[in-house]
Structure 1
Amino acid sequence: MSTEKTELIKRLEAEGDIAADYLEELLDIIDVGGEFEIDVERDRATVEIVDDEDERELRRLVGRDGAVLDALQELTRLVVQNETGERSRLMLDIAGHRKAQRQRLAAIAEEAVTRAQATGEPVRLEPMNPFERKVCHDVVSAAGLFSDSEGTPPNRRVVIYLEEPEVLVDEEDDEA
């Protein structure tokens, strides 16, 4: 492994540790239990909070459609950024919510890839948030096809192509 890659992994592990410390304090304040799993996936730190005994308590921290989880992730990213001085792309999962979301989105993207291959035509998915679009872009890329995002939030969507389109729209916001 290169020195550059090793340094990146160390930096991301440190981000995970900072995030876990912050979240542990938060859970103590609201009197919710949970264990922390810190990892590095796809060049970003990940922190998952799990509780094998009482997932119901943790699910409150996910909120309706993951709204509370999204807010906690942004707060945690800000804490990490404040500590490190660098923007964080940390991914937070609570009670397996994002994992289940990824599986659901991967199935949607795989079905759309199959449809694009069968028809030879671009396939437009329903509007999605940046996290959801990123999952779909990853699935499409792994299948050897091309994808782009079009539209403006909240109507921004993934479009799947058999061949690389001539003009690609900026995908900066698809790295949530």
Structure 2
Amino acid sequence: MTDVQHEGERSLAQLEEEGDIAADYIEELLDICDLDGDIDIDARNGRAYVSVNATDGANLAVLSKPETVTALQELARLAVQTKTSAFSRLILDIGGSRDARRGELDALVARAAERIEQGAAEAALPAMSSYERKLVHDLVAERGLHSESRGEGAERYTVITRVG
């Protein structure tokens, strides 16, 4: 383990291997669906990122719905886990779905921040994935507010309050 690598974190080589395995899995899926897409692999923030972008004339819209991306991400993570015997925190993006979801979450946080500014003690957001909650925590911090996660499992959600 290197000085900058913490226990449980994956090395760059491990993340690249995860990305390659997931990209192969997603490429096979695209072939089965007769869809074209360019696949990019990246490693950042201790995670492998696999992005599928549309080529001219390709229709990735059928796969870029948030629920579909989440399901495909879980399948890609299972493919990685099967080959590496290690849990993967891989992130899959199809047709810009992650950027679109970040925009939706930003709007959700903005509405919650307005409720706080209007005097609400706290504002709870709907249950969401750990990745989405992480994005929400970052967006909330950018607004100078406090957030914490509550609940368990699939029902875990974020609550926003004033700082202090």
TM-score with structure 1 setting the length:
0.75
- In structure 1, stretches of 5+ residues that fail to align are 165-176
Aligned twin of 1:10: 13
Aligned twin of 2:63: 61
Aligned twin of 1:81: 81
Aligned twin of 1:171: none
Given that residues 10 and 46 in structure 2 are in contact (C-alpha distance below 8 angstroms), is that contact kept between their aligned partners in structure 1?
no
Q: What's the CA shift for 1:90?
A: 0.8
Secondary structure, counterpart of 1:59 in structure 2? coil
Aligned twin of 2:150: 150
**Structure-to-structure mapping, 1:94-133, within 5 angstroms:** 94-113=94-113, 115-116=115-116, 119=119, 121-125=121-125, 127-130=126-129, 131-133=131-133
Q: What's the CA shift for 1:36?
A: 0.6
- In structure 2, stretches of 5+ residues that fail to align are none
Secondary structure, counterpart of 2:86 in structure 1? coil
Q: What's the CA shift for 1:113?
A: 3.5
AA aligned opposite 1:45: A
> When you count helix as a share of all residues, which structure comes out higher?
1
CA-based RMSD = 2.7
Given that residues 66 and 101 in structure 2 are in contact (C-alpha distance below 8 angstroms), is that contact kept between their aligned partners in structure 1?
no
Q: Tell me the alpha carbon deviations over residues 6-37 of structure 1, each in whole angstroms, 9 at most, x when there is no partner.
A: 96233222211111111112222332111011
Q: What's the CA shift for 1:133?
A: 2.6
Q: Which consecutive aligned stretches of 4+ in structure 1 deviate over 6 angstroms post-superposition?
A: none
Given that residues 45 and 90 in structure 1 are in contact (C-alpha distance below 8 angstroms), is that contact kept between their aligned partners in structure 2?
yes
Secondary structure, counterpart of 2:89 in structure 1? coil
Given that residues 23 and 76 in structure 1 are in contact (C-alpha distance below 8 angstroms), is that contact kept between their aligned partners in structure 2?
yes
Q: Tell me the alpha carbon deviations over residues 117-141 of structure 1, each in whole angstroms, 9 at most, x when there is no partner.
A: 563732222x132143332122123
Q: What's the CA shift for 1:48?
A: 0.9
Q: Relative to 1, partners in 2 of residues 1:138 and 1:112: Cα closer, same or farther, differing over 3 Å?
A: same
Q: Relative to 1, partners in 2 of residues 1:113 and 1:24: Cα closer, same or farther, differing over 3 Å?
A: same
Larger deviation, residues 76-85 vs 152-161: 152-161
How far apart, in 1, do the equivalents of 2:155 and 2:34 lie? 38
Count of matched residue positions in the alignment of Structure 1 and Structure 2 = 159
